[in-house]
Structure 1
Amino acid sequence: MVLAVAAAACGTPSPPAKTGTGVSNTAIRLGVLSDLSGPFGPLGEAVVQGNQLYVDKLNAAGGVCGRKVELDVQDTGFDTDKAVQLYFKMEPTVLGLLQVVGSDITSKITPDMLQQQVMAAPTSWSSDLLGNPYMVVVGATYDLDVINSFDYLVRQGMLHQGDVIGHIYNDDPEYGGNALLGSQFVADKLGLQLKAIQVAATKTDFTAEIAQLKAAGAKAIAISTYPQQTAVAVGTAAAIGLNVPFLVSNPGFDPSVLASPVGPAFQQLVLVSSSVAPFGAKLPAAEELATAYKAKFPNGKPSMAVDYGYVVGIGYGAILKRACDEGDLTRPGVQKAFHELTGVDTGGLTAPLLFSSSNYPSSRQSFVLRPNPKTAGGLDIVDPLKESDLVRQRIG
């Protein structure tokens, strides 16, 4: 389906610009390969909603180079084969991709994206994506979020040299494996003992893993799994009395869990690390976005993924605007504009985004968040955006 929103004022001439694939005299078409019906369905839907809210705002202000932005949204169901087919059908008609959900999906289409110079914003924070000049990675990578969250515990006096920390991570190397790098770095630098446990993405029983970590005397546990797995693991820990902080990577949290039987355990034990502000943040930009969301999606389910989708829109929109200013809306022109941008202001929803080098994360700062069922989106800020000394050491 194509979502076209509020065209620029009729009769406004398009500024002169070189154009190519996905750009006409009246529109700029961007693709979205999301998971709307698979394991990340709630996340994918919320990211699309955030994307759309930014496109609404952009088009209401006149669009880019006098052109409205259109989104071609396709549901992959988190099925790699289906996603690849959708990509090859979509690629000849779009300028770039505003969203791609799934590391395996991203890796399968990357060779063609490089050949065709398609710029994409993956819904992923893997450091493995860094170095690809066509990947718009918005925010801190998984490993940096993990480092910043452990730093928070150290600053709170909850971790000390010699302590045992755990990390339960799924077998996706670009998600769980990348997050594990953060725990390994923290353990090495702070003299902690790390007990890492890899689990299959299909695992549904965490009794043995939680028992191992309790027996090892873990003082804190990072967990980088799918939301359903996170819920089971935290619930299991609470049931056997393992009452230690669980540091949840942001894809592993779904606010709907707070209405489930394990909701109280999440409130007590869980901290979520994210480079993007939560939906219910007491920040002007977040409050403005929440108002727009409720107006457009009155039956929607607020989550931090909405804010992430909106921030991706801000970043991609800034790239398109710079390409317009330089008179080149071709794929090479947009890619050039991408790497000329520094300090993209998101209104405090993230740290300013630095896109000038694809070898480094666009942000290094993270919020630390605590679940709260009374807050829209289910998360409160307990520690504002910070870049730890450990992150600075890791980045160099």
Structure 2
Amino acid sequence: MLLALLLALSLFAAACGDDDDGSADAGASSTDDAGSDSGEIASDFGVDVENKVIRVGINGDLSGPFASLVAEIVESQEVYWEVFNEQGGYQGWTVETVVLDSGYATDVGIQNYEELAQESDDGVLMITENTGSPITAAIAEQAAEDNMIVIPLSWASLWPDPEFGPTILEKQTTYCIESMNGVEWMAEQVAADGGDPALAIIGRPGEYGEDGSVGAALAAEELGIPIVYDGTGAVAGDDRTAIVAELVGSGANMVWVTLTPGELLDVFGNAVSQGFEAYWSGNSPSFNYLVHMPSDFAAEFSEFYFQSYYQAPWATPGIPGMDTLVEAMTANRPDLNISDVYTTGWIEGIMAQTLIEAAIDQGDLTRANMVALANSGLEVDFQGLSANQSWPQDYNEAVVRSSWIYDVDVSQFNIIPMSESTADNPGSTGLIPIEQDYVGSVAEGYVFDGPCIEPSG
């Protein structure tokens, strides 16, 4: 009952504010007619008005380089909608998920988008997760033409730009700003140790790698930190021997990476094996505790690596949204292991539910109205899981400038099934928050002309 109340009331408040038009009373019941005066709902695609079912799509990497984490994020979002539906939905409306696997291949991701966006009963109202910057960039223009809201599993600085992706609804900060914060935080640690910061940047090609690397370089420029090795876009193949050699000989005492987990394991492992010591951090997708904590270099990751992230990890105390998430995931997926990334799927669900409920209240579940609502100044309350979000048309107002920083502590790494997670032993991914909603001076004061990068291709 507590779970139902938190989901229904907190999200209704976020969507509707303090209106006195009677919609609050309607929202308290899951069986009332929809929110328009006539009880009718306007719709076009992805909405079954007769059965009051809304279809949402997930275009996720379930078999590619980020599959282990994306699979858990998808599970979380599916549980979110299961709980929503079990509690009667909203005014009797329920949500059905349609999940497709892109394998992180752009051509497959485009095909999946076309299937989800089809203008028929088999289409969806919105896409509540689209894995990856390359795929999101590739579909952004078509999504705008289709009035298709897309929530990317990507933090590229392109998404807050209304001219590039007016229907791409970013969540949390951008790779560029995350890098600014991460570099400044590492510089503070080096200075506290009595050293002079010297930065190495290592990234992969494409929107993701370039965005993170550019943000790191901008922070270094603003802070007067020398870049002693610039490997922006350097990790483009399987042989990273030259990259590691240049890094080890660079004199860097800080390393910022924008890589896949496998690439990070290779570069980091070879560097520390040669005696290289520095503060390491990077854009969030670079580090995967399922890959790095059980690796041969777990102790070195624990000593040198600090994870940058956007949200609260599993079972963080004192956060209302986390209590709800843990209760729901434990009840609905007890045999799955604990995971920090369940928060991501939950946040995606909160975003979509807030928009859907506002649309029902207006009596308009068309794709075009979903876009209009997103651009109306609507704010989404993430219940403490992450910084709240809205989508102003001004880039500098739209971007979230805070990020989280975690210590990597292999001694705390304790992945257990959720059925075994208790208040005394909740389990841990080994990521321990050091800074919550950290905003460095560079990120706080930086005036953006727009995205930090141009879309590739």
Q: Residue deviations 1:142-182, cap 9 Å, x none?
A: 0111111222223433588963201110012x111001121
Q: Which stretch has the larger CA shift, 18-27 or 156-165?
A: 156-165
Closer, same or farther: CA 159–344 of 1 in aligned 2, 3 Å:
farther
Correspondence 1:386 to 2:412: no
Contact persistence 1:161–1:190 (CA under 8 A): no
Partner of 2:201: 167
Q: Residue deviations 1:252-309, cap 9 Å, x none?
A: 1111120121111111111111122222433433244234223322333433322111
| Amino acid across the alignment from 2:326 | A
Contact persistence 1:54–1:310 (CA under 8 A): yes
Correspondence 1:13 to 2:33: yes
Q: CA deviation at 1:358?
A: 6.7
Partner of 2:272: 238
Correspondence 1:271 to 2:291: no
Closer, same or farther: CA 123–238 of 1 in aligned 2, 3 Å:
same
Partner of 2:419: none
Q: CA deviation at 1:11?
A: 5.5
| Amino acid across the alignment from 1:384 | Q
Q: Residue deviations 1:80-113, cap 9 Å, x none?
A: 2222222222212111100111222222322321
Closer, same or farther: CA 212–287 of 1 in aligned 2, 3 Å:
farther
Partner of 1:144: 177
Structure number with higher strand proportion: 1
Q: CA deviation at 1:120?
A: 0.2
Q: Which stretch has the larger CA shift, 175-184 or 84-93?
A: 84-93
Correspondence 1:311 to 2:347: yes
Contact persistence 1:319–1:341 (CA under 8 A): no
Distance 2:443 2:30 in 1: 49
Q: How does 1:222-233 map to 2 (within 5 A)?
A: 222-233=256-267
Correspondence 1:107 to 2:133: no
Q: Rg larger in 1 or in 2?
A: 2
Match of 2:408 among 359, 362, 371: 371
Q: Which runs of 5+ in 2 are unaligned?
A: 1-27, 415-426, 449-457
Q: CA deviation at 1:343?
A: 4.0
| Amino acid across the alignment from 1:377 | T
Distance 1:40 1:202 in 2: 17
Q: CA deviation at 1:332?
A: 1.3
Name the SS for the 1:313 alignment partner.
Answer: helix
Partner of 1:179: 212
Match of 2:386 among 343, 350, 366: 350
Correspondence 1:255 to 2:289: yes
Distance 2:311 2:299 in 1: 24
Partner of 1:23: 47
Distance 1:112 1:289 in 2: 34
Distance 1:125 1:215 in 2: 32
Partner of 1:130: 160
Q: Residue deviations 1:111-140, cap 9 Å, x none?
A: 321111101001110012222210111010
Distance 2:331 2:270 in 1: 38
| Amino acid across the alignment from 2:249 | A
Distance 1:58 1:355 in 2: 24
Q: CA deviation at 1:233?
A: 1.8
Closer, same or farther: CA 180–23 of 1 in aligned 2, 3 Å:
same
Distance 1:382 1:261 in 2: 25
Percentage of pairs with the same residue: 24
Q: CA deviation at 1:224?
A: 0.6
Give the number of aligned pairs. Answer: 388
Distance 1:119 1:359 in 2: 18
| Amino acid across the alignment from 2:386 | T
Q: Residue deviations 1:364-396, cap 9 Å, x none?
A: 211101223135233110111122221122246
Q: Which stretch has the larger CA shift, 384-393 or 69-78?
A: 384-393
Q: CA deviation at 1:324?
A: 2.2
| Amino acid across the alignment from 2:125 | L
Distance 1:104 1:390 in 2: 27
Q: Which runs of 5+ in 1 are unaligned?
A: 1-7
Closer, same or farther: CA 208–301 of 1 in aligned 2, 3 Å:
farther
Correspondence 1:333 to 2:369: yes
Q: TM-score, normalised by structure 1?
A: 0.90
Name the SS for the 1:351 alignment partner.
Answer: coil
Closer, same or farther: CA 233–345 of 1 in aligned 2, 3 Å:
same
Q: CA deviation at 1:243?
A: 1.7
Q: Residue deviations 1:333-385, cap 9 Å, x none?
A: 11111122454221211111122337354522111012231352331101111
Name the SS for the 1:128 alignment partner.
Answer: coil
Partner of 1:4: none
Partner of 1:3: none
Q: CA deviation at 1:201?
A: 5.7
Correspondence 1:58 to 2:84: yes
| Amino acid across the alignment from 2:166 | P
Q: Which stretch has the larger CA shift, 37-46 or 233-242?
A: 233-242
Distance 2:205 2:298 in 1: 26
